[in-house]
Structure 1
Amino acid sequence: MKKINVSIHPVGCSGIVCYVGDSISDETNDLVQVISRHIINKMGHKFTGVVPSYHSVTMFYDSITYSFFELKKEVETQILNLQTINLKQKKTIYEIPVCYGLQYGPDIENVMNHHHISMNEVIQMHQESLYRIYMIGFLPGFPYLGGLNRKLATPRLKKPKLVRQGAVGIAGDQTGIYPFESPGGWNIIGQTPVTIFSNNRDDTVLFQSGSFLRFKSINEIEYAEIEKSIKEGSFSLKKEVLEVDEN
């Protein structure tokens, strides 16, 4: 593993942020995921939450029990240990079914017109990519995905509107999925029947940052069938797990 250079700072009176870099890249996010998992494994009992993002890891703690300087020193030691530990990670790839088109994706024409391409080309390019989940935010369960074909990068809508649960959208050079109905300014090109966030499940969020998504185009009949199987509790999201050596 390469030498890991980090910068650690306080966040308010009960948080620590560990900056791994200052850019959005696969290499930086790989290190973020490695550090996040290692901190949870070695120090998880000392933190109330560990949140990885594009290029940083934020850790929250009880300021009555621990001090910033105490935890900073231990985090630095754990990261130093990573320089010599051989780690392997599992690369989890989820397949998300999406019904594209005007009924389910009212803004797909924006993408078509912006790039002067057909609807079929938008659909084909969108489902060809393998998308990395860089982080989860701004809504609970909302995955920020990297890997969008640059030929599909499209500016946000000038005026946000109400977006349906499961809406799949494009904003700039990113794509994402709305976990529930919400105001939004992304160009909606399709919709998935899969419920990616639910308080009624043990796994409230189906996937985590560091995992990957693929989109699979489905028709309206398949959409209705999946929606029915979800209500009946018989639906199982397809996923593939690969071992990846990080060295």
Structure 2
Amino acid sequence: MRELRGARVGEEAGDTAGENLIMRRAVRGVWPHLPVLLIGSIAVCAGAAIATLIAPGLTPVSVLVIALLVIPPFAALIAVANGIVVRGDATVRQWGGSLIRSGWRAVTVAVPPVVALALLLTAVEVWRISGQSWVLVPLGVAATVSAIGVLGLTAALPLALERPGLRGTALWLSALFLVAKRPLSFIAVACLAGMGIWAATAWTASLLLLLPAPVALVASAAVWTSAARLGLAAPKE
């Protein structure tokens, strides 16, 4: 947490003013930044569409393909969300710069949960084919690690893009620290993404265009409101 403490600009731990400022920026920043949010969302959906064409279905291979094609544009969208909630401003140019500079780093950040999900799907397939009860042990472990990894990733991406000094183990420990302290904030991100995907599957795929930007904003707001609440970092007016 040293890097986060070094970036602290709030007045004191538990300062609700920083949290309130972040939430106001997240809500009020949608309309003035709608063009860049739409561009970012379209890029994410385009990556998802290409990934679906290359590796349809939900398989270990499709998870890896999605990681390569969806995470870079989503990370650029997270960078836009960070700009909105932390500094109150974001531009298309900043989105493009983040896509070029941070896309590959975002993929490396996502390696732990992506590998865990791929192993989980592999274990599910082995159990389906063999029916062996012992397979439930690695399946359960993979499911647990995947769940923790996905929640951790919702914190790790905003942190990695806003705090370049946080890398590797330090980054993931910081992300999991925030998740452990305020789990409901990050569960809300996963629930929002899951409900959006379900709605798009049940009704119309065009709803997916409306999903990436809210997920990115909620994820960024979850990270920085949690950091502000813990007195680690808070934005200024």
Name the structure where helix makes up a greater proportion of residues.
2
Question: Which TM-score bucket, shorter chain as reference?
Answer: under 0.3
Please tell me whether Structure 1 or Structure 2 has the larger radius of gyration of its CA atoms: 1
Name the structure where strand makes up a greater proportion of residues.
1
TM-score of the superposition, structure 1-length normalised?
Answer: 0.26
